[in-house]
Structure formats: C-alpha cells, structure tokens
Structure 1
Amino acid sequence: MPEKPYSMSFTTAALLKMESRQIASLYLSMGNWGQVRDKAVEQNTIQARSAVSLKRLTRECISRLRLLPDDLISLICHGNSIEENAALWFGVCLRYPFIGEFAVEVLHEKFVRRDSVLGHGDYDRFFSRKAEWMESLEQLSHATRSKQRQVLFRMLKDADLLSDSGDIQPIVLTENLVQVLRNNPGLPRLIFPADVSHL
C-alpha cells in the first residue's frame, strides 16, 4: 500500500490557547465553521497583528477545533484549566496523527513505565522509527525537524503535560473529561500521561 504522509505543518503555532478560546466561543454561538471563519477574519477575533497572521492562525485553530465533539469545545470556553488544556491537546493530536502517535507511543508509555523525564532524544528516536517507514519524513531537513521538535515540546509545556525542566506532568482526568470520553468512544484515550484503565 502507498504511504499516506503525515501532515507536519504544526510549526504554524503552538497550543493557541487564547485564539482557540475565542474561535470556540464563536462556534458555540454560531454552530457553523464557515460562518465562524468569515466572522473571525472580518472582526479579527484573535487580535492578530497582520492580515496574513489572522488568516493563517484562524485557519489553524479551526482545523483543530472542528475535529472535536461539541462537549470538548464547550470545555475550552467553560472548563477549568485542566479541561481546557486537555481539549486543546485532543485537537492537536487529532489534527496531526504524528503528534498523536508520539503522545501514545512515547508520552503515555513513559508514564506507564514510571519514567518521568521526556527529552529531545526521545523525540529523535521516535522520529527515526517513523522515518524508516515513511520516506517523506526522511526527506525533511535537519532545520525543519528541529523546529518541529521545538514546537511539539512547547505544546506539551503549554498543555501542562511537561515541565520546563522536562519532567512529565501526569494529569488526573476530571469528571467532565471522563464523561466526554464515555460519550465519545472514538476519542483517543492514551494521549495523556494519565491512568485511563477505568475508562
């Protein structure tokens, strides 16, 4: 079977907390992503500094958020910080399967093994394993790989899943998050450093 290349365009921005909150709020009031995009661009909802940034970041936010069920989008606007971060991490992992697989195969696996440190070497080894089967990854320049790694680690820190010193920060799934997972069995459960054995 021909390979299906990973989308590796996640260097556009990190977790986009503030921007995603604004876009999610628009969606909850409008219910249509096309209308959300148009209004967000027209009104500069995310307060971007240039028209180019406005369109790029709005498009990036929507590409992640539209993959989420409405109850997760609601948590971005109305949940606590753990719930908001978790919802945004779901969006990133669904939008970028490469990151989703890293979360399952490296982040969660380290949590299970009680290995509490995540470093650049872990990412590089993961990337090398994937590149053995995906020629498009092998063709990426060293500078691009470095930038992608930098952005991914920034996302992990923004989501409070990784400390500044590289320690994995487990999360305790809140009652709201547990309910979302039970209501949406198709959502990945192993993308967090968390105990999901009861789900």
Structure 2
Amino acid sequence: MAGSYGVENPQNERYRLSFTVGGLLALQGKILATLFVENEREYMAPDVEPTNGATDTDHEIGERITRIRKQAVEENVLSIRTRSANSRVVSEVLKRLSALTETEIHYLADDDTPASDRQALMWVAMCRYYALVGEFANEVLRERYLMGFSTLTKDDYDRFIQAQSMWHPELEELSALTAGKLRSNVFKAMSEAELWEKESDTLLPSLLSKSVTAILENRPESFRFFPTRER
C-alpha cells in the first residue's frame, strides 16, 4: 500500500496509529533483518533513486522490505504459534524496518552486534515509522532529561497526547481500549530499550555505543529520540 512504508512524514494530516503490537520487537527485528540480508542479491537493486546526494546505504529500505514477508510468514521464522498472530507481528516488524537504512539493517542483522545496539536501532525504527512516537521521544522523553527531570510517567504521555489532539483529531477518535494499548506499547518499548524503568518511572540516560553513534551520524535527527545530550 502506497505510503504504508518508510519514515512517516510528520506533516501528514493523520498519524499512523497501529503500534498496538509487541513493544520494541528487537529480537524479531534482528531475525527479519537477517532474512532480508540473506536474500539481498535478489532484491537489493534500488527501486528508488537516492535523492539530495544520499548514498544507497543512507537511503531507507522502504517498501522493499516487504519482499521477504511471504517467506517469513510461511516459514514461521519468528516461531509464533498461530498463523494470524505470526502474520500480524511480521507485518508490524517489517513496517518498522522499512524506516531504517541499508547500513542500519545490516548492522541490526550482524550476529556480533550487541543487544543494546539492536535495541537502540529498533527504537529508532519505531520513532521514525510512527511520527507520534518520535515526537513524544523528542518533546517529552528527551526534553525531560535535558531539563533535569529524573522520571517519566504515563501522565506525561497523556498530557502530550492531549496537546497533540488539538492538531490531530484522530487521537480523540481512538477508543479508550486502543489508546491504552498504544500508551502501554510505547512504555513497553522504552523499557525494553532501557530508556525507562518500569517499577520507579525512572528516566534512564542513553549511552549510545560508538558504532550506533557513527551510524546515526548519517541521520543526526535520530539522536533526538534518546535521553542524551548528543546533538
């Protein structure tokens, strides 16, 4: 579906609001990134020419990531019990991976990549694919860290959503159940990315590795998704 893959344009009239599944999905992201890399020769010829001087490796994967969807579902590479759940999780992970660059995908797939680096890249993927999550990370998570606050609560999230709903009425149209799932998944993802501690609501400063920092230099706006003074 056109417009369903790649980085979400924050200027879109409506947010993508389908992040009701799985939290960070770091392990699943690694598995599907590996499958993508293993099948690279078949589909890595660029479908879209890089723009603004970007190199192939700087260009986001976009809809090309979906070429492994059928194989991932049929072979149940994520080892999920039911086909419907398997299909749903595969689709969600592929959407997020579509917002990463080829360099990022390759690093995510590398067996030698530390788990913490994979977590960081999957948080970047979630923030890029879902503009609402990225804006929350920048305007609330990171901003609270820079202002010296030590905690991040669900009330902070609720206030952010209330403010955003002035420009995005689709947020007010969400059922209480769906809104709750979205909030829970954001906080679950932050916990799994080791950016937030669940029991105490403690905000955890991000210490990005040299490898991740070097990779994100090509997309420096991604640093704003983390509670860090980088950039």
TM-score by length of 1: 0.92
Partner Cα separation in structure 2 for residue 136 and residue 3 of structure 1: 12
Partner Cα separation in structure 2 for residue 68 and residue 22 of structure 1: 15
In structure 2, give the amino acid aligned to 1:153: F
Mind listing any 5+ residue stretches in structure 1 that lack a counterpart? none
Partner Cα separation in structure 1 for residue 146 and residue 106 of structure 2: 30
Change (3 A) 1:141 1:34: closer
Cα deviation, residue 87, structure 1? 0.3
1:52-90 CA deviation, whole Å, 9 max, x = no partner?
Answer: 111111111111112101222233233212211110001
Check if 1:41 corresponds to 2:73.
Answer: yes
Change (3 A) 1:194 1:3: closer
In structure 2, give the amino acid aligned to 1:20: G
Residue from 105, 114, 139 that aligns with 2:139: 105
2:37, 2:109 within 8 Å by CA — same for their partners in 1?
no
Check if 1:142 corresponds to 2:170.
Answer: no
Check if 1:174 corresponds to 2:183.
Answer: no
Secondary structure at 2:197 match in 1: coil
Residue from 56, 70, 86 that aligns with 1:54: 86
Structure 2 match to 1:64: 96
Structure 2 match to 1:192: 226
In structure 2, give the amino acid aligned to 1:170: P
In structure 1, give the amino acid aligned to 2:184: Q
Mind listing any 5+ residue stretches in structure 2 that lack a counterpart? 1-10, 44-64
Change (3 A) 1:60 1:3: closer
Specify which structure has the higher proportion of helix: 1
In structure 1, give the amino acid aligned to 2:143: E
1:64, 1:91 within 8 Å by CA — same for their partners in 2?
yes
Cα deviation, residue 132, structure 1? 1.3
In structure 1, give the amino acid aligned to 2:31: Q
Change (3 A) 1:125 1:34: closer
Cα deviation, residue 186, structure 1? 6.0
1:123-155 CA deviation, whole Å, 9 max, x = no partner?
Answer: 010000001111111111222222211111111
Percent identical among aligned pairs is: 29
TM-score by length of 2: 0.80
Residue from 8, 33, 40 that aligns with 1:24: 33
In structure 2, give the amino acid aligned to 1:56: R
Cα deviation, residue 179, structure 1? 1.1
Structure 2 match to 1:83: 117
Secondary structure at 2:222 match in 1: coil
In structure 2, give the amino acid aligned to 1:42: E
Cα deviation, residue 104, structure 1? 0.2
In structure 1, give the amino acid aligned to 2:92: E
Secondary structure at 2:157 match in 1: helix
